[in-house]
Amino acid sequence: MSNSSAAPADKPKGVVGSLAHGLNIIMAFSKAHPRMTLSQVSEKTGMDRAGARRYLLTLVHLGFVVQDGRLFQLTPKVLELGYSYLSSVPLTDKAQYYLDRIRDQTGFPVALGVRDELYVVHLASANSDEFNSPGLTIGRRFPIAYASAGRCILAMMEKAEREALLKDIKLEPMSDMSVATISALNKQLQIIRKQGYALVDQEMQTGIRSLAVPVFNARGQIAASFNTFTFSNLVPAAQLISDALPVMQAAAEELQATLI
């Protein structure tokens, strides 16, 4: 889902290229490729073998990667990098209480999402037994236009910022039901602004329906969103809205009141 790279196209003067290469190697590991040989790393990152080897051994030296025979894998030290971010965002700590409360009151899984360029990222979540889903993993990224968390943030953004973002979005429909044009997306964003929440029906994945509500900061700017999802064949949209929406909106209002 993620596939972002640490190497944007235009490289301003003074940029340290080797830092991008090292970060790309970390991001090359995934659920599908938790342990890789040097050749695999070289192939996945587009680096030559000598370069990939140098960065891998640097990461081994720094404790972020371990080598076991021909295989390399990440160590838990990598989490420290993400923890630097999580611990610097007071929102995360504060939100957990509300996430747990929403999950307990609705029985649905729920996550807190923030925007990261053209993606939305989960900062925290409360998972539900009923819907034991791997989807609510912290740090996972989803396209901003198709995830309800992202679409909600997009809709609530200031107009100028949204219009600038929309110019960069390349819509890649993820299911038969996905909006496929910017004008169709814009129409959805208008509906979201009008009704105050985002309902995304099987546009990310067939069979999955999700709902997101905005969390604003004290200046009235969109800061994050709460989002939940259900299987569309089990929970009709009307029931998702009647069960989860008031609970999520109440939590969002309370969380907002604590934000500076």
Q: Is the Cβ of residue 109 or residue 179 nearer to a copy of itself in the bound state?
A: 109
H-assigned helices in 63-112: 78-88, 90-106
Contact status: 44 vs a copy of itself (CB under 8 A): no
Q: Is the Cβ of residue 126 or residue 179 nearer to a copy of itself in the bound state?
A: 126
In the set 46, 90, 207, 236, which binds a copy of itself (CB under 8 A)?
A: 90
What percent of the chain is helix, strand and coil (3-state, nearest 5)? Answer: 45, 20, 35
Residues 6+ apart with CB under 8 A from 255: 94, 95, 98, 215
In the set 40, 43, 44, 58, which binds a copy of itself (CB under 8 A)?
A: 58
CB of 73 to a copy of itself, least distance (A): 7
CB of 24 to a copy of itself, least distance (A): 9
Whether 228 contacts 99, CB under 8 Å: no
Contact status: 55 vs a copy of itself (CB under 8 A): yes
Contact status: 70 vs a copy of itself (CB under 8 A): no
Q: Is the Cβ of residue 61 or residue 219 nearer to a copy of itself in the bound state?
A: 61
For 222, the enclosing helix (H) or strand (E) is strand 222-231
Indicate the SS3 state at residue 53.
helix
Q: What region does 225 belong to: left with phi over 0, alpha with psi -120 to 50, or beta? A: beta
Whether 127 contacts 103, CB under 8 Å: yes
Q: Which of residues 125-184 bind a copy of itself (CB under 8 A)?
A: 127, 129, 132, 134, 137-141
Q: Is the Cβ of residue 11 or residue 187 nearer to a copy of itself in the bound state?
A: 11
Whether 51 contacts 25, CB under 8 Å: no
Contact status: 192 vs a copy of itself (CB under 8 A): no
Contact status: 69 vs a copy of itself (CB under 8 A): no
CB of 173 to a copy of itself, least distance (A): 24
Indicate the SS3 state at residue 66.
strand
Candidates 3-11, 154-162, 171-179, 236-244 — which segment interacts with a copy of itself by CB under 8 A? 3-11
Q: Is the alpha carbon torsion for 117, 220, 102, 175 positive or negative? A: negative
Contact status: 194 vs a copy of itself (CB under 8 A): no
What is the Cα 59 distance to its own chain's centre?
Answer: 25
Contact status: 37 vs a copy of itself (CB under 8 A): no
Q: Is the Cβ of residue 7 or residue 177 nearer to a copy of itself in the bound state?
A: 7
Cα 251 from Cα 233, distance rounded (Å)? 27
CB of 121 to a copy of itself, least distance (A): 4
Q: Which of residues 107-126 bind a copy of itself (CB under 8 A)?
A: 114-117, 121, 123
In the set 49, 71, 80, 187, which binds a copy of itself (CB under 8 A)?
A: 80
